[in-house]
Chain A
Amino acid sequence: MTAMEGLLNVYQISLLTTLAVAVIMALSLNLITGFCGQISLGHAAFQGIGAYMAAILTKQAGFDFASATLIAVLFSAGIGFLVGLTSLRVREDFLAITTMGVAFLFVGFVNQQPRLGAEEGIANIPDPGLGATGYMVMALVLALLVALFSVYVRRTWLGAAFGSIADDEDTARIVGIDVARFKLAAFVMGTGLAGLAGSIYAHQVKIIQATDFGFIPSITVLSIVVFGGIGSIMGVIFAAVLLTMLPLWFQFIGDYKLLFYGGLLFLMMRFAPQGLAGLIRSGLDAMRRYKRDDARLGDAA
């Protein structure tokens, strides 16, 4: 680790940790929105649920970071299960409405709870004791594991079933897919991993407030997934890094977050619904078609 401390300054270490959290968040929503086609407008709330759960466990109940994180993941997934159960059995767009409700409900609820620090939030969250560099490495390794898990899921029959639902829910039913159950599985996996991102975030910044996980952060992560290319793992990772860095480079983006991310979301949905990955794919397709036509013309001549 000492070698690395020479390479990176404090700011860069903190930035890489932040990026790891952003990547985990984006990939977790990508399981729900990208793989399975379900829109969540309150994904940050599940990060918040994990963050608060883990922070309370380490600060007030004396749990170590690892166990607190594990419990936070299960707790977020559990709440995700309950939210999903009530909204995924109904028709498609209901989840978007419900999760938007969750986004506001989370902030409203936490701000009224003195035991959760109300609007002050929770401060002085204990340090996990890995050192800044060690913590960064841990966060990056976890982000990598979540990415590998995403790649694995996509290769399994589970990924294929998610894809069929994203493609055409009614047809999925006709070929025997229990659509509600698979959607619920995607939602539980995604919300659980959001809880993981929450715990890492809480123990990095050491102070959390409900608004850190409100509607704007939810829209931000959704615009990252849409910008990267719904379902594309590499595209989503790239977008998570880029769109997390942008507000740091350009102050005005930070000042007008909702306008910027909301606008981005609108523009992508309107003009490039397949995202960056889709733009690159269709570019490659067009090139291939061009070459093929070229070759055919050559044959004909």
Chain B
Amino acid sequence: MSAILNIRDITVRFGGVVAVDHVNFDVADGQLLGLIGPNGAGKTTVMRAITGIVSPEKGEIRLNDAPLHNLPTHQRVRAGLGLSQQLVRPFRSMSLAENVRFTAGYAKTRGPLGALVALDRSAEARRALELLDRVGIADQADARPDEVPLGVLKRLEVARALALDPKVLLLDEPLAGLNSEEAATLADTIRALNGEGFTVVLIEHNLGEVMRICDRLVVLDNGRLIGEGAPRDVMAEPTVRAAYLGTEVSDAAA
């Protein structure tokens, strides 16, 4: 498999704190890559560096060999990144279906002039219902974000990311806040999406589901990459066990 997304030497500093320290990894086309690590390891910061929400001090990000790191967020999204955020951020004035419909119209919202002459929303409305169905919340299509539980909004984030027809789907803790049954269902959906050819980068705390569905893991700790490879092999490495599981044990003890 060839690499579709390259993360090269990314370093992010917040004031004096190095949040991400020279991180390198590749995401292969069609892969389901799990990006894991204890709290504060820098996973979300890496994700934000990929989408351009934070600016790395140095490093390169390439999608299909095209450099992304100098582009603003909206252009990276249009280049093929679909992001589902850890803290859900729906458009609160829109219904769930409208959230996805608006996003699915990305070709019509490229610039103001084109958008001024575009009226038809029927194709995007159909696509929105398909995608809501795909993540299992089609029955709530007309609900407002304020009327539905977190689990539904988590799925909405995924549906909205899919509406962009992304080359790479970046999912930041999509399972957080869900009960184990909901988490397993959404994890199955993510696995199935990957089976349909979507490349997925999954940040997740739910180790059980990560081990179950991911092809490959990248492990961060204190902003450094400390392990990568097949899930079972990586989790067997002593450094990973010490950093990742060690923290988890102390978390559990606390």
Chain A residues within 8 Å of B, Cβ to Cβ: 153, 155-158, 160-161, 163-164, 166-168, 170-179, 181-182, 184-185
Contact = CB atoms under 8 A, between A and B. Distances in A.
Interface string B38-71: 0000000000000101000000000000000000
Interface in B108-127: 108-119, 121
Interface stretch (B14-22, B77-85, B175-183, B223-231): B77-85
B74 interface: yes
Contacts of B164: 175-176
B182 to A, nearest CB: 23
Contacts of B105: 157, 160
Contacts of A153: 116
Which secondary structure dominates chain B's binding surface?
loop
Nearest to B109: A161
Contacts of B90: 171
B92 A164 contact: no
B73 interface: yes
Interface centre among A168, A170, A171, A172, by most chain B C-beta atoms within 10 angstroms, is: A171
Contacts, number: 87
B89 A170 contact: yes
B91 A177 contact: no
Interface string B108-150: 1111111111110100000000000000000000000000000
Contacts of A179: 74
A153 B115 CA distance: 9
Nearest to A166: B93
Contacts of A176: 74, 77-78, 103, 106, 109, 164
Interface residues of B, number: 36
B160 interface: yes
Given A161-B109, A181-B111, A175 B102 contact: yes
Smallest CB-CB A-B distances: 3 pairs: A185-B112, A158-B115, A176-B77
Contacts of B89: 168, 170-171, 174
Given A168-B92, A171-B89, A176-B74, A157 B109 contact: yes
B102 A164 contact: yes
Nearest to A178: B74
Nearest to A185: B112
A184 B112 CA distance: 9
B4 interface: no
Nearest to B85: A174
A177 B94 contact: no
A175 B75 CA distance: 10
B108 A173 contact: no
Nearest to B100: A175
B154 to A, nearest CB: 15
A253 to B, nearest CB: 33
